[in-house]
Amino acid sequence: MRRMNLERQTLLRVVVIGGGIGGAELLRNAATKEGLELVLIEPKDRIECQALYPDYLGGEIGIEEMTAPLEPFCRKMDVVHVRDRALKADFADKRVTCEKNDIDYDVLVLAPGAVQNYFGVEGAEKAFAINTLEDTVKARRFVEKTRPKKIAIIGSGPTGIETACFLADNTSCKIFVVEMMDRLLPTLSRNASILMEKILAGKGVEVLTNKRVESIQDGSVTFADGTALDCDMTIWTAGIGPAPLIESLDLPKKNGWLLADQYLRVEGRKDVFAIGDSAWIEIDGKLATKTGMEAEIQAKHTARNLARVAKGDALKPYSIRASTDSPVALISTGCGCAVGIYGDLCVPIPKRIIYTFKSWIDKSFVKRFK
């Protein structure tokens, strides 16, 4: 293990774990503030926009459009990029232990995101996933090489729906969407479910609701009711869980996620912040959604609060924008269209303008790091 020889400056050293949407956006904003020395711990060499993975899987965009290289971005922002994976942290000594380095901090920001959750379903880990760039590239290669005839998509959240739409439009496969609840998009309004069912039916996608997956084998999916579905490819999109690093940290958690206070600091710790998917953020009775949109706003807010810490000023509390009680979603439905959902409201037909807006948001996120 090497002690990273970063020359100590008289600045507040902020170490950020995770250079995804939250971490990268925080660094971009913090770089314009005075009094901060910024260090990023991130094993990957690219910032990725996961929202564009379904578009990539459907063959509509390339890797360059949904990722940005980290090195030039960090150089431009005067951020030290430690290409390493954080394993644990010592909060008394204020030190992060990585696979190859130990790094000291004054303030730590935890933004390691989430990982796919397989809920202990037998064989699920062998299914394809689109939670990381690597997984998504693997899935696209499989579609292009083997041209599967039947694809089962497990989970009917926005990711499952977008994946079904892009694959239905760009391949000749028969697509099945499998959902254990009694309707599609169970975390969004009933109106959204009805609309999406119509859109999928129009594309020939078959929806199987009330189907709890019991196990996944090569060539089939078995359900808890004893029935099975034959398929040549299974894509698992059903749910996320905390990143392994979070499990190893001795910090307050809720349902496995880092418990944040109203300033987005980990409960009870003045020098550790948690943002993005890894955090459980519940303020004034509202629970923050685990979305890129929320991660970005939390990142901007935290960058401003870090500048306040450097100056010795009081922190400002955070106000949740996208909460689980009135979620905002823009869901691509293929063919250059998307639907917009806000709480109980949803645009009744997919519109090009909504897709153009969603695509502009996602692509401009990537462009701002180039």
How many CB atoms are located within 10 Å of the residue 227 CB? 11
Residue from 290, 303, 334, 365 touching ligand FAD (CB under 6 A): that is: 290
Choose among 86, 106, 105, 108: nearest CA to 97.
Answer: 86
Give 310's DSSP letter: H
Identified binder of ligand FAD from the candidate list 151, 243, 281, 315, rule CB under 6 A = 243
Q: How far apart are CA 135 and CA 140, in angstroms?
A: 9
Minimum distance from residue 299 beta carbon to ligand FAD (Å): 8
Q: How many chain residues touch ligand FAD (CB under 6 A)?
A: 32
Query: What Cα–Cα distance (Å) separates residue 170 from each residue in 147, 203, 316, 363?
Result: 11, 11, 47, 21
Contact 305, 28 (CB under 8 A): no
Contact partners, residue 259, CB within 8 Å, separation at least 6: 251, 252, 253, 266, 267, 279, 280
* Smallest distance from ligand FAD to CB 49, Å: 7
Helix residue ranges per DSSP H, 31-131: 53-57, 63-66, 70-77
Mark the segment that binds ligand FAD (CB under 6 A) among 6-14, 180-188, 191-199, 290-298: 290-298
Helix (H) or strand (E) holding 112: none
189 binds ligand FAD (CB under 6 A): no
Question: What is the closest distance, in whole angstroms, from the C-beta atom of residue 292 to ligand FAD in the complex?
Answer: 3
Options 131, 193, 234, 302; binder of ligand FAD; rule CB under 6 A: 131
For residue 50, state whether it binds ligand FAD (rule: CB under 6 A): yes
CB of 96 to ligand FAD, least distance (A): 9
CB nearer to ligand FAD: give 121 or 264. Answer: 264
Nearest to 56 by CA among 148, 151, 163: 163
159 binds ligand FAD (CB under 6 A): yes
Cβ closest to ligand FAD, residue 43 vs residue 256: 43
Residue from 14, 30, 53, 107 in contact with ligand FAD (CB under 6 A): 53
Nearest distance from C-beta of residue 229 to ligand FAD, angstroms: 22
Residues whose CB is less than 8 angstroms from the CB of residue 74 and which lie 6 or more positions away in sequence, other chains included: 27, 40, 80, 81
Which stretch, 1-9, 39-47, 219-227, 265-273, contacts ligand FAD (CB under 6 A)? 39-47
6-25 positions binding ligand FAD, by CB under 6 A: 17-23
* 157 lines the binding site for ligand FAD (CB under 6 A): no
Which residues neighbour 10 within 8 Å (Cβ) at sequence distance 6 or greater?
A: none
Burial of 314 (0-12, 13-18, 19+ CB in 10 A): exposed
User: Under the rule (CB under 6 A), what is the footprint of ligand FAD?
Assistant: 17-23, 41-44, 50-51, 53, 85-86, 111-113, 130-131, 159, 243, 245, 276-278, 290-293, 295
